[in-house]
Structure 1
Amino acid sequence: MSNALKDQLLKAGLADAKKLKAIKKDKHKQKVQAGKNTVVNEASSLAEQKRQQQVERDKELNQQKQALAQQKAIAAQVKQLIATHTINAKGEVAYNFTDGSLVKRLYVNTKLHDELSRGLVAIAKQDEQYALVPAAVAEKISQRQPESIVLLNTKQQQTDEDDPYAEFQIPDDLMW
């Protein structure tokens, strides 16, 4: 209230000095609180932003941990599949295959050599060891961890109609 209005209200008896002081004090408190609220609002908004950023970081870390745990679980499944379905590969016939850019050799018996060639048996790599596993197990492993399967020949029964050598049979005892 302006001074002239205060004086007029006091003279008319509509207000007394105590009420005017209380009103003045309330207005002063509101001004002070308004100043504090802006500081408090800025601080609370900054705190809220930091909390949101922390929540996002925590979510990302949690996703990374879950992905790592899932990879470990898949690796354990693959290791178990290879360990339980390994075929004994002792033999006298050498079977050559490639692992990346390296040519490797496994000594197997003639039956396993034939099954490897026809795609009934596959070669899986566990750590630095090679193991022979059935083709069905190799497909399960390749679904989980494709880099573990070193060799899986596909069964090709299709004959080309234009093949000039289609009428000739390939001998079974041919070794390279």
Structure 2
Amino acid sequence: MPNPLHEQLLKAGLVKKSKVAAATRELNRQRQGKAPAPDADAVDARRLQAERAERDRALAAERNALARQKELQAQIRQIVQTRAVPQGGDIAYRFVDGHAIRTVYVDAALRAQLARGAVVIVAHGDGYALLPRAVADMVRERGGTVVLDHGAASAHGDAGTGDADDPRFRVPDDLVW
């Protein structure tokens, strides 16, 4: 169906027939949803925008992970400060932290609780804190470092298994006591 405006412009001689045909084709494409082929600049712009969005998402995820780690460290610090067992006494209790032997001073009751596994030693800042087992489990869940836990093997049901049959720990038969 011809456009009356196009016919009037053709009769007046203001446009050529090829221009009217091109305009008609363009209108038909727009009505049918067919867009002209995108130019290279538009494709590059979209690609750059997608790359920026991906980079922004990665940076946001990294920031969120760091914020979560800081939050967990703050929770651990708060738990240790509020729930730590007061230490002090005249008995030196030595334990291994990595490759170094460390010492905390405790009294007899606290030493018995450490040996039994009711109290656990946790690394806290530059020093160490003594925590009850349940509180130490909360610290362990948040990624804290539990240095000494005598009750860990018995708590998980691993007590008495493995070491007796390990050839590295076999007692020689000719050992004289």
Find out whether 1:154 has 2:151 as its counterpart: yes
Cα distance change, pair 51–103 in 1 and its aligned pair in 2 (3 A): same
Counterpart residue identity of residue 119, structure 1: G
8 Å CA contact 1:138–1:152 kept in 2: the answer is no
Q: Within 1, Cα distance between the matches of 2:130 and 2:22?
A: 87
2:79 corresponds to: 81
Query: Per-residue deviation at 1:94?
Result: 1.1
Number of residues of Structure 1 aligned to a counterpart in Structure 2: 138
After TM superposition, give the deviation of residue 17 of structure 1 in Å. Answer: 9.6
Identity %: 29
How far off is 1:89 after superposition?
1.0
In structure 2, which of residues 4, 13, 16 is the aligned counterpart of residue 22 of structure 1? 16
State the shift of 1:128 in Å: 0.5
Whole-Å separation in 1 of the counterparts to 2:19 and 2:119: 93
Q: What amino acid does structure 2 have at the position aligned with 1:154? A: G
> Is the CA contact (8 Å cut-off) linking 1:119 and 1:135 kept in structure 2?
yes
Q: Which residue of 1 aligns with 2:64?
A: 66
Unmatched 5+ stretches in structure 2: 1-9, 25-35, 165-177
Deviation of 1:53 (Å): 0.5
8 Å CA contact 1:92–1:109 kept in 2: the answer is yes
Give the Å deviation of 1:145.
1.3
Deviation at 1:117, TM superposition (A): 0.8
Unaligned runs of 5+ in 1: 1-14, 31-36, 164-176
Counterpart CA distance in 1 for 2:61 and 2:160 is 49
Name the CA distance, whole Å, in 1 between partners of 2:11 and 2:134.
Answer: 99
Deviation at 1:107, TM superposition (A): 1.0
After TM superposition, give the deviation of residue 41 of structure 1 in Å.
Answer: 2.0
SS in 2 for 1:123: strand
Residue 97 of structure 2 is aligned with which of 96, 99, 103? 99
Which runs of 4 or more aligned residues in structure 1 lie more than 2 Å from their structure 2 counterparts after TM superposition?
15-19, 24-30, 155-160
Residues 1:111 and 1:142: Cα distance change in structure 2 (over 3 Å): same
Whole-angstrom distance in 2 between the partners of 1:105 and 1:81: 22
State which structure, 1 or 2, has the greater radius of gyration over its C-alpha atoms: 1
SS of match in other structure, 1:88:
coil
CA distance in 1, matches of 2:94, 2:126: 17
Supply the distance in 1 between the matched residues of 2:67 and 2:78 (Cα, whole angstroms). Answer: 16
| Distance across 2 between alignment mates of 1:85 and 1:29 | 80
